[in-house]
Amino acid sequence: MSSAERHIIAMGGGGFSIEPDNPALDLYVLRQARSKNPRVCFLATASGDADSYIVNFYSAFTRLNCRPTHLSLFGRVPDLHKLLLEQDIIYVGGGNTRSMLALWRAWGLPEILRAAWEAGVVLAGLSAGAICWFEAGITDAVAGRLSVLQGLGFLAGSCCPHYAGEPERRPAYHNFITSGEIAAGIAIDDGAAAHFIGTELARVVASQADATAYQVSVSAGSAVEAPLPAEALPEA
């Protein structure tokens, strides 16, 4: 295994697709790369590779100090191992996590993404692009309800995005944890990101004054939240 430092940055919601006028989280992701002019590959799989999402990515990242590209799993697919291992950052967008993971597994992407992570490529993303790295997450992939979804397992425990932004998320996450359907884990607000170095949480950063993350666990049969102090990003 490579001795490179491994980074995963999980955003509850934010970045160019949710805060187009506030690049704080995206700039934070860029600063973690091993290059001062990093290569950034966007995976919009969870949106079905929506053209508008990919256009928005390029519109945002061509204004920043980086070299943006994207990977589509529709149409002709390039050499995935070569493309992803030559990146400095792999940035995963939001959408339908269940469909995204199914397609990734069909193409052998989990193994390639793990190899990239172990080689020092920063893995980042929001919503679907946040929960995918954990053992499990809370998803709205099925219309009208939240459910538990098994992730890639790069990080232990579970993850719930959009924690303060979508009112149904908090009670659903609490219920899943107290019932034992999902392991304890981290809940992340829109405008906040949890930065893991190796497999340990290193810090929480925020692009909004009231955004943060929480460790959520069970005590005496009830869900317990422990707020995590968030560092306000200078560009916010």
What percent of the chain shows pLDDT beyond 70? 98
pLDDT digits (tens, 9 = 90+) for 5-44: 999 999 999 999 999 999 999 999 999 999 999 999 999 9
Q: What's the predicted TM-score (pTM) here?
A: 0.96
Average pLDDT, the chain: 95
Q: In which band, very low, low, confident or very high, does the pLDDT at 145 lie, cut at 50, 70 and 90?
A: confident
Q: Is the CB of residue 28 less than 8 Å from the CB of residue 205?
A: yes
Q: How many CB atoms lie within 10 A of CB 12?
A: 32
d(CA 233, CA 236): 5
Instruction: Determine the residue type at 217.
Output: S
Q: Is the CB of residue 174 less than 8 Å from the CB of residue 163?
A: no
For the chain, the straight-line distance linking the first and the last C-alpha, in angstroms and rounded, comes to 37
> Is the pLDDT assigned to residue 90 strictly greater than 80?
yes
pLDDT digits (tens, 9 = 90+) for 148-178: 999 999 999 999 999 998 899 999 999 999 9
The residues assigned a catalytic role are: 127, 162
Helix boundaries (H) for the chain: 24-31, 51-61, 80-85, 97-106, 109-118, 128-131, 169-178
